[in-house]
Amino acid sequence: MTTMNLRQTPLPSAAVPPVPFGTDVPWTNWGGNQQATPAFTVRPRTEQEALDAVRFAIKEGLPVRAVGSGHSSSPLVQTGGVLLEMSAMTGITGTDKARRRARALAGTTINAFGDPLWKQGLALSNQGDIDKQQIAGALATSTHGSGKDLGSFSSALRWVKLINGHGEIVEIGEGQLRELRAAQVALGTLGIFLEVELAVEDSYYLQEQITYPDWAETAATWDADIDGNRHYSLLWCPGEGSAELLDLPGAPGLSMTNRSYTKRYNKVRIADESEISTVEGSRLDRSYRIYPGGFTTPFHELEYFVPREHGLAATEAVQELIRTRYPEQKYPVEVRWVKADEGYMSQFQGRETTVITLTTEPGTDYWQFFRDADALLQEFEPRAHWGKIHFMTRSRLERLYPQLETFIDVRREFDPRGVFLNDHTRALLG
């Protein structure tokens, strides 16, 4: 994120927030495709400072958005009002071994959960390829890993403390299922998350197995691989050089064209940590050290979610699109699986899901490719990752999300004046 010259000196003829702030500080996301210049950028260090900033915005009639690590490619963050940059509010605030629960401040990054939870005999149930996101942002967009019996981060939310559009700090817990299911995936429209509680599990070790089957082999064992592994995912490589674009080690002595880089992670018991292995392709380690893929080079993605039963057909349709119309698109196509959940705006609401991710290089013209992929996948009733490039509209949401109106009702109760909406979220959820 752009360095902010945060200051407390008052501006000469304008109201200012009573917390550290910067004015007209440009913001750019991780992938470089989203920018904004808020009137005020605030970096609260405490709940009170966050509350003061929101109350200032309400008083001045300014919209408010929060930003985490900036990994979203969609226009979720943009605002000309007040941008709350939450990275100073970080840390694990409590664990409950018996209930398998962990609490953390909203700005805590996913990679900051590992060691503190492990010391308490706990671990996150799953993680995705990247672990640099702040937890509030991961929840807002239903960030996920892979595994047919494993849910997204959002499905693990059990309690949240937030600032609503009335300028109040409120809590939502398991006794308020209607509100909790709205909060689980809210795109930042219910309010500013301050602290969250997640369901976690007992600590565990994972054994990695990396293989390189050709596509015929991948398709032949499709269901067996999904059902037979705790975590299974694959990256299909359309051509030579594909694997290197995501820093994936290729198959020694084999062409990666039309071949899959497959990942299987399964729980193992070990006598002690002398058995830990860092050998690439067959690592054995604590769970949180195995999950992250280590992707560090910025890229842009479109990520769509189809019912599991359509996963193979949808994947092969995308492959055919690349072969016949977009052979210049060389990035691997990633395919993953996620368990159904009950979050009203979750991409996984009510259905077991196959995830198909298309990746492209910043600075290249990929819009027509993404638009054609979007059109191609419509027969499979796709939902979209809220944090990735997508073409969702209000009419699509009305068709794809059975609890949309319930979510909107809750959103309006928490934020009747639309303080936490921007142009993008207003079009979808206003």
Query: H or E stretch including 243?
Result: helix 242-245
Question: Which among 155, 174, 179, 183 has a CA at the least distance from the CA of 351?
Answer: 155
What's the pLDDT tens digit per position in 109-167? 999 999 999 999 999 999 999 899 999 999 999 999 999 999 999 999 999 999 999 99
The total number of structural domains that make up the chain = 3
Same structural domain for residues 193 and 216?
Answer: no
> What does the pLDDT average to over 407-423?
98
Q: What is the pLDDT of residues 1-48, one digit of tens each?
A: 233 333 333 333 346 666 777 888 888 878 888 888 999 999 999 999
pLDDT in tens, 83-96: 999 999 999 999 99
- Flag whether 234 is in a domain: yes
Q: What is the mean pLDDT of residues 89-105?
A: 98
Q: What is the DSSP string of 263-282?
A: EEEEEE--SSGGG-B--TTS
Torsion of CA 337, 343, 349, 352, to 10 degrees: 30
pLDDT of residue 309: 98
Helix (H, G, I), strand (E, B) or coil at 338: strand
Q: Give CA 125 to chain center in angstroms.
A: 15
Look at residue 15 and tell me if it is in a domain: no
Task: Please say whether the beta carbons of 273 and 205 come within 8 A.
Answer: no
Q: How much of the chain exceeds pLDDT 70, in percent?
A: 95
357 part of a folded domain:
yes
What secondary structure, in 3-state letters, does 16-69 show? CCCCCEEECCCEECCCCCCEECCCEEECCCCHHHHHHHHHHHHHHCCCEEEECC
* Cβ neighbours of residue 267 closer than 8 Å, sequence gap 6 or more: 204, 205, 206, 207, 230
**Both 196 and 226 in a single domain?**
no
| Structural domain includes residue 231 | yes
What residues does 344 pair with on adjacent strands? none
Residue 187, in any domain of the structure: yes
Average pLDDT, the chain: 93
Share of the chain above pLDDT 90, in %: 85
User: Maximum distance among all alpha carbons in the chain?
Assistant: 69
Residue 348 and residue 274 share a domain: yes
Q: Contact, 384 vs 353, CB < 8 A?
A: no
- 13 occurs within a structural domain: no
* Interval 230-241: pLDDT, tens: 999 999 999 999
Residue 264 token pair: 């299987």
Question: Span 241-264, mean pLDDT?
Answer: 94
- Domain CATH number, residue 78: 3.30.43.10
Q: Which of 85, 101, 136 is the last residue of a domain?
A: 85
Let me know whether 79 and 99 are in one domain: no
224 and 364 inside one domain: yes
Which of 64, 153, 104, 65 is closest to 385 using CA atoms?
153
Mean pLDDT calculated for residue range 179-188: 98
Same domain (yes/no): 406, 372: no
Domain final residue pick, 32, 58, 85: 85
The pLDDT assigned to 218 comes to 98
Residues 319 and 411 in one domain: no
- 106 or 299, which is more confident: 106
CATH number at residue 209: 3.40.462.10
| CATH number of residue 130's parent domain | 3.30.465.10
Per-residue pLDDT, averaged over 250-272, amounts to 95
Q: What is the pLDDT of residue 318?
A: 98
Q: Of 63, 85, 107, which marks where a domain is finished?
A: 85
Claim: this prediction has a pTM higher than 0.85: yes
Domain residues for 270?
Answer: 205-391
CA 336 to each of CA 55, 146, 231: distance values in angstroms, whole numbers, following the listed order:
41, 5, 9
One domain, residues 189 and 278? no
Residues 302 and 374 in one domain: yes
How much is the pLDDT for 212? 97
Instruction: Report whether pLDDT(303) > 60.
Output: yes
325 and 386 together in one domain: yes
Do 137 and 187 lie in one domain? The reply is yes
Q: Are residues 254 and 276 both part of a single domain?
A: yes
Whether 430 maps to a domain, the answer reads no
Which of 44-48, 247-251, 332-336, 389-393 bottoms out in mean pLDDT, i.e. has the lowest? 247-251
364 within some domain:
yes
CB 137 within 8 A of CB 301: no
**Per-residue model confidence (pLDDT) at position 377:** 98
